[in-house]
Amino acid sequence: MKNRAILSSAVFIAGLCSIIYELLISTTATYFLGDGVRQFSIIIGIYLFAMGVGAYFSKKLALNSLKNFIFIEYILGFIGGLSVPILYFLFTYVSISSFQLICIGLIFVIGFLTGTEVPLLTFSFRDKDVANNLSNVLSLDYVGGLVATLLFPFILLPFVGLFYSSLSFGIVNILLGLIVNAVFFKNEKRSIIFGLTTLFLTLTIVFSGGYLLNIWEERIYKAPIIVNEQSPYQKIVITKKGEQVKLFINRVIQFASSDEHRYHESLVHVPFSLTNKIEKVLVLGGGENLATREIVKYPGVKQIDIVDIDSTIFKIAMEHIDISAINELAPFDPRVNMIAADAFSYMHSTTDRYDIIIADLPDPNNQSLARLYSKQFFFYVKRCLSEDGVFITQSGDINTSNSVFSCIYNTMDDVFDGELLTYHVYIPSFGDWGFIIHSKDKTPDADNLVKGLKYLDSLTLINNFSLPKDVLIDDTKINTLDNPVILNYFLEDYERFKHVLN
């Protein structure tokens, strides 16, 4: 009974670890390559195929099934444990296409090894009731998978991180092999030595992990890292080199302190120049509160709602000394309400109406973000605007992301009946950045601008409403929830201009 309990526990742990590796590699690939749907689809498909190959191959190992299972655990623990550190390290040295192939190679090896586990354990049960054994083994394996899918988003990702989660579960696999070996084959010195060697090597990476992470990540971000947090939603990194502070989310720059005023002054003061009565303002995204810094300069505004999915950004905005200095303590203005919510869900459920709605959202580089530029989302925005309300959304680089810019314009045009304006501003850290505005009044009033702005003045305000002669609004499909074409446009633009962007 004791031996059966150990084997049953081994099945559960094996199922748990294998799903964790799949989630780790899929998430890491998404962080570095974008397009989560594509990455998860590729990784899951290759993983399942490799499991099938491993299961077929396992019959060749049936003669010494339990001994072979132990060695599989050592190898799987070592490769699976080092999978994320390997990907972190290689990303700074290989091309995007090579990195994708490495992800596929790693998940194939892990899937192949995982595919051998359950058959080998099934062969190890000594009674003749094979059907009953198989059903018990599979049920435990599936339960382990369920536990893994709950652990990953709620505990491992936000509190442990990808790097250490990978290593931790590698150690679990290796320890499982050592325990099974100790119970069933006490005198197998070769197996013990092999297991302890893989454990020692994995632990070495664990104990040097902080040092290695700093080296690898500073190579990626090209500046000393002062904040490095993994929230339940995203990877947040802040760097500081001299006086230059930069915020990155999932490795994509959000602002640089040297020129962010160009972006945020345009994002806020341009829509303010198009309307007079402004009491309620909604900002979607912008949890670092730099847009808020500009809005609080208007004494007539009575309510400012900031909706960001990640409360960690709000905490950084209020507590981190460098970010607080840049946002000038705007989050503490009594008119500001910070709401931790998904922008799409908030717009779907709110009954409030706003005089200005500002979409300071990330680029549509994955399925979740693509919906924030969809026809359905813009319908929610239209519903929540006051009668003469103004809506502005950031719309990407008008040159290197012209397909995205055009798609946002065409989708909004389908909703707002042609009451659109285009605006652009050159930002050294980003490029020639575009904004698309819905406004019934198409004549900006420079007298509405507050005094003391760093970038905007009356002449700049007027001039930037004209797109360069060689920038056109292309014909594109309309972006919808059902058909998020903007994601394909984004990826195609990135592929064309990645030599410029990187």
Residue 252, Cβ density class (10 Å: 0-12 exposed, 13-18 middle, ≥19 buried): middle
Q: Domain check: are 140 and 154 in the same one?
A: yes
Q: Domain check: are 287 and 354 in the same one?
A: yes
Q: Domain check: are 273 and 248 in the same one?
A: no
Terminal-residue alpha carbon distance, the chain: 59
Query: Which residue out of 141, 310, 355, 360 is catalytically annotated?
Result: 360
Asked if 169 and 17 touch (Cβ cutoff 8 Å), the reply is yes
- What beta strand segments (E) does 448-499 contain? none
Q: Domain check: are 162 and 63 in the same one?
A: yes
CA distances 189 to 69, 175, 183, 186, Å, are 16, 15, 13, 8
Q: Quote the pLDDT of residue 126.
A: 56
Q: Domain check: are 405 and 272 in the same one?
A: yes
Distance CA 258, CA 241 (A): 11
DSSP-assigned letters across all residues of 210-246: HHHHHHHHHHHHSS-EEEEEE-SS-EEEEEEETTEEE
Q: What is the pTM of this model?
A: 0.81
- The H or E element spanning position 263 is helix 260-272
Task: Say which residue the tokens 């005089």 belong to.
Answer: 355
Which CATH number fits the domain that encloses residue 114?
1.20.1250
Distance CA 135, CA 315 (A): 48
Residue 2 — pLDDT band, cuts 50, 70, 90?
low
What's the average model confidence in pLDDT over 135-144?
A: 76
Q: Domain check: are 161 and 270 in the same one?
A: no
* Residue 297 domain boundaries: 259-501
Q: Using the CB atoms, write b or e for 60-90: b if 16+ within 10 Å.
A: ebeeebbbbbbbbbbbbbbbbbbbbbbbbeb
Q: Quote the pLDDT of residue 1.
A: 54
Q: Domain check: are 84 and 170 in the same one?
A: yes
CA 146 to chain centre: 22
Q: Domain check: are 54 and 137 in the same one?
A: yes
pLDDT digits (tens, 9 = 90+) for 286-315: 999 999 999 999 999 999 999 999 999 999
Residue 140 has pLDDT above 80, yes or no: no
Q: Quote the pLDDT of residue 233.
A: 87
pLDDT digits (tens, 9 = 90+) for 309-364: 999 999 999 999 999 999 999 999 999 999 999 999 999 999 999 999 999 999 99
What's the average model confidence in pLDDT over 75-92?
A: 92
What's the average model confidence in pLDDT over 78-91?
A: 93
What is the torsion angle, in degrees rounded to the nearest 10, for the CA atoms of residue 349, residue 351, residue 353 and residue 354? -40
What is the token pair recorded at 198?
């893989």
Instruction: Identify whether 413 is a catalytic site residue.
Output: no
Residue 97 has pLDDT above 90, yes or no: no
Residue 131 — pLDDT band, cuts 50, 70, 90?
very low
The fraction of the chain above a pLDDT of 90, given in percent, is 69
Averaged confidence pLDDT in the chain: 91
Q: Domain check: are 197 and 327 in the same one?
A: no
pLDDT digits (tens, 9 = 90+) for 4-47: 778 778 888 988 998 999 999 999 988 888 777 788 999 999 99
Q: Which of 158, 211, 215, 176 is nearest to 81 (CA)?
A: 176
Q: Domain check: are 403 and 427 in the same one?
A: yes
Distance CA 217, CA 220 (A): 5
CA distances 297 to 25, 56, 102, 157, 458, Å, are 45, 68, 50, 38, 17
The fraction of the chain above a pLDDT of 70, given in percent, is 95
Q: Judging by DSSP bridges, how do beta strands 244-249 and 252-256 pair with one another?
A: antiparallel
What is the token pair recorded at 139?
């049920």
Domain boundary among 230, 254, 278: 254
Distance CA 285, CA 347 (A): 12
Q: Domain check: are 306 and 341 in the same one?
A: yes
What's the average model confidence in pLDDT over 265-269?
A: 97
pLDDT digits (tens, 9 = 90+) for 395-446: 999 999 999 999 999 999 999 987 899 999 999 998 999 999 999 988 999 8
Distance CA 117, CA 120 (A): 5
Strand partners, 304: 281, 336
Q: Quote the pLDDT of residue 324.
A: 97
- In this structure, what DSSP letter does residue 58 have? G
Higher-pLDDT residue of 495, 313: 313
Q: Domain check: are 239 and 145 in the same one?
A: no
- The H or E element spanning position 50 is helix 36-57
pLDDT digits (tens, 9 = 90+) for 54-63: 999 999 998 8
Residue 130 has pLDDT above 50, yes or no: no
Asked if 20 and 152 touch (Cβ cutoff 8 Å), the reply is yes
Domain count, the chain: 3
| Residue count of the chain | 502
What is the torsion angle, in degrees rounded to the nearest 10, for the CA atoms of residue 264, residue 267, residue 272 and residue 273? 100
pLDDT digits (tens, 9 = 90+) for 157-209: 888 889 999 999 999 999 999 999 998 888 788 999 999 999 999 999 999 98
